[in-house]
Amino acid sequence: MIIRSKAPLRISFCGGGTDVLPYLAERGGVVLNSTIDKYAYGSLRLRDDRSITVQSLDYDIMAKYHVDDEMQYDGKLDLVKATLKLTMNGNKQGLDFFIHSDAPPGSGLGSSSTMVVALVGVIKHWLRLPMTDYEMAELAYRIERVELAIQGGMQDQYAAVFGGFNFMEFGPSGVIVNPLRVEPEIVNELQYNLLLCYTGRTRLSGNIITTQVEAYARKEEEVLHAMDEMKKITVELKNALLQGRINDFGALLHEAWINKKKMAKQITNSTIDTLYDVAREHGALGGKILGAGGGGYLLLYCPFDKKHLIAAELEQLGGQIVEFTFENCGVQTWEVRG
């Protein structure tokens, strides 16, 4: 028997960074995001012996362990090791794991966190673990942020578990995921006007987030103001989306990007600035770099009659246009018998 899972990657429209400790505990954070039709996949196959093998199909990396081994975190498939440690509950079954993703780590689409959700999902399905969606997302967060001490926020795990358009609230008492009932014609119009462009480079998001956290700890006024403004804009974006004010949504993305760049200097660079400025010069109303910044995917809101022109200009500069659609489902699991 083989058990498979897929968890959707996400686009964060606004609020990313306010979901990071200690800001969220002290001032509360909000994020508006949606999942898309790009995924992290996990497959689990039971073995007849007591070995555990893990194979990354993306990077052609394979590791083998014995069920009684204490797995060391050494930078090689640590997400899988930590997931096994926190979910197996002493189970000594031999396993084969296969993992792959539609986007590399550092792309800004939440791929690492989404992979953890896919792994938790496949083990939950196999062991019939009685977890709610909130408990599943919290466990995925604990695996990555606590067990492995990887810097980052909370939105990615919850987006991958819940799926769809969500307005998320983060605070000392916990997380509240508010699913948004966006009218289909609004979703279609938003998607028709959005352009997703790969900048050609990835980055280590943890380094950028560390800089942001340190600036917040020093109570730098510009950073504090930018993060507070991001929360206000996130609410305005949510309202514009629900009310179908799509052009206002695009203009608010630009306001959000101006504030996001103030949170850490590494969030942007000359490549990102050039792509963004050219897009604006040719008609884009707004946009932002996805994730922590520094590279990965650039999201742009373009009036429909300018979108093809902007895409051509970005490709001339080395950008890669990526087609996508919104995904309503969160993590899914299924069995293959044979």
Report the C-alpha gap between 309 and 249 in whole angstroms.
Answer: 21
- What are the DSSP calls for 227-279, one per residue? HHHHHHHHHHHHHHHHTT-HHHHHHHHHHHHHHHTTS-GGG--HHHHHHHHHH
Report the C-alpha gap between 144 and 151 in whole angstroms.
Answer: 8
Provide the pLDDT for residue 216.
82
What is the enclosing helix (H) or strand (E) of 247? helix 246-260
Query: Is residue 329 within 8 Å of 118, Cβ to Cβ?
Result: no
Provide the pLDDT for residue 181.
96
- The answer to whether 277 is a known catalytic residue is no
Provide the pLDDT for residue 178.
98
pTM above 0.85, yes or no: yes
Q: Which residues of the chain have pLDDT under 50?
A: none
Report the C-alpha gap between 196 and 214 in whole angstroms.
Answer: 30
Per the rule left: phi > 0, alpha: psi between -120 and 50, beta: everything else, 151 is beta
What domains can you pick out in the chain, each with its CATH number?
A: 2-181+327-336 (3.30.230.10), 184-321 (3.30.70.890)
Which residue of the set 156, 228, 277, 305 is catalytic? 156
Look at residue 131 and give its three-state secondary structure. Answer: coil
79-120: per-residue pLDDT in tens? Answer: 999 999 999 888 889 999 999 999 887 788 999 999 999 999
Provide the pLDDT for residue 203.
57
One-letter amino acid at 287 equals G
Provide the pLDDT for residue 106.
77
27-70: per-residue pLDDT in tens? Answer: 999 999 999 999 999 999 999 999 999 999 888 888 898 888 88
Provide the pLDDT for residue 205.
57
